[in-house]
Amino acid sequence: MGRTSSREFLPVVLAVSILALVGLSFTVLPEKSYQAEPSAGNNAGCAGLRIKENCLAMEVADTNQARIKGLSGRDGLPDNSGMLFVFESVGEQCFWMKDMRFDLDIIWTNVGKQIVKIEPDVSPDTYPEIFCGDDTLYVLEFDAGFAVKHGLKVGDELKF
């Protein structure tokens, strides 16, 4: 057997290193998790959304996969519940009614959780129309009529 020099191993080491780096670039890392935590004074005792004396359960969509799925494919929402979409950064957040089976109220809020836009009674028949809100970080979806029932309006601050 002959002796192998380190120069002969160099191309192999480089090739393995490059393959390892390429493999890492395709690895899906978990997204930042968001946990809605009540803070004393503004939402004490409510682990969801507080509107006046009502505490509503909120399903949180805080990953791309969860936000894309949203409420599509469901026949409705349980009473006193909704979906909270949490984004990584403030911007224009857009929604459509693809694969939806019931009407929704869509509410956009800014980083301070103030309502900046309400799109009431959005029907699945509006697809492929897109509904967008500017400068928003959170979007909430509820059964149609929710905003009127609870007297919500642009400028109101939500507690969740």
User: Model's pTM, two decimal places?
Assistant: 0.73
For each of the domains in the chain, give its residue range(s) and CATH number, in order of start.
49-149 (2.60.120.1140)
Beta bridge partners of residue 55, listed in sequence order: 50
- pLDDT one digit per residue (tens) for the chain, 160 residues: 555 555 554 454 444 444 333 333 333 333 333 333 333 345 667 889 998 788 999 999 999 999 999 999 999 999 889 999 999 999 999 999 999 999 999 999 999 999 999 999 999 999 999 999 999 999 999 999 999 999 999 999 999 9
Residue where the block lists tokens 């089976």:
101
The sign one gets for the Cα dihedral 30, 43, 158, 51 is positive
